[in-house]
Structure 1
Amino acid sequence: MIYENSLQFAEKLDQNDSLKHFRNEFYIPKKENGEDKIYFCGNSLGLQAKQTQDYIQKELKDWAKLGVDGHTDAEHAWKPYHEFLTNSMSKIVGAKPEEVVIMNTLTTNLHLMMVSFYQPTHKRHKIIIESDAFPSDKYAVESQIKHHGFDPSDSLLLWQPREGENLCRYEDLEKILDDNKDEVALVMIGSTNYYSGQSFNLKKITELGHQHNAKVGFDLAHGAGNIQPNLHESNADFAVWCTYKYLNSGPGSLGGCFVHERHANNPKLNRFAGWWGHDKATRFNMRKDFSPIPGAEGWQLSNPPILSMAAIRASLDVFEKAGFENLRKKSVQLTGFLEFLVKELNNDKINIITPENPEERGCQLSFQIKDADKSLFEKLTEAGVVADWREPDVIRIAPTPLYNSYKDVYNFIQILKKLLNEK
Structure 2
Amino acid sequence: MWNNDRFQATDLDGLASLRQADDIFAITQFSNNTVWAYSDRRVLSRQPDSDWREHVIQPMNPGRINSLGELADGTVYLCGIGNVLRLDTVQAAAASMSAPGVAMRKIILRSDEGVESSLAVDGRHLVMPDRTYSLAFEYAADQLPSPLAMQYQTMLSGPLNFDNDWDQSTRLSYADLPPGSYRLQIRARSGNGESRQPVAFTFEVQPQWYETSWAKLFWLLLALSTLAAASAGFTRWRLARLHADRRRLQYLIHEQTAELATANRKLENMAHVDALTGIANRRQLDRYLPDAAQRCITNKKALGLILIDVDHFKQFNDQFGHQRGDELLRQLADLLILCLRRTDDILARYGGEEFIAVLPGADADMVLEVAERMRSSVESSDLGITMPAGLVSKVPDTLEHVHELIGDSDKRLYRAKEQGRNQVVSD
Asked if these proteins are the same fold (TM beyond 0.5), I'd say no
TM-score (norm 2): 0.17
Q: Indicate the structure whose relative CO is greater, using CA pairs within 8 Å and at least 6 residues apart.
A: 1
TM-score (norm 1): 0.17
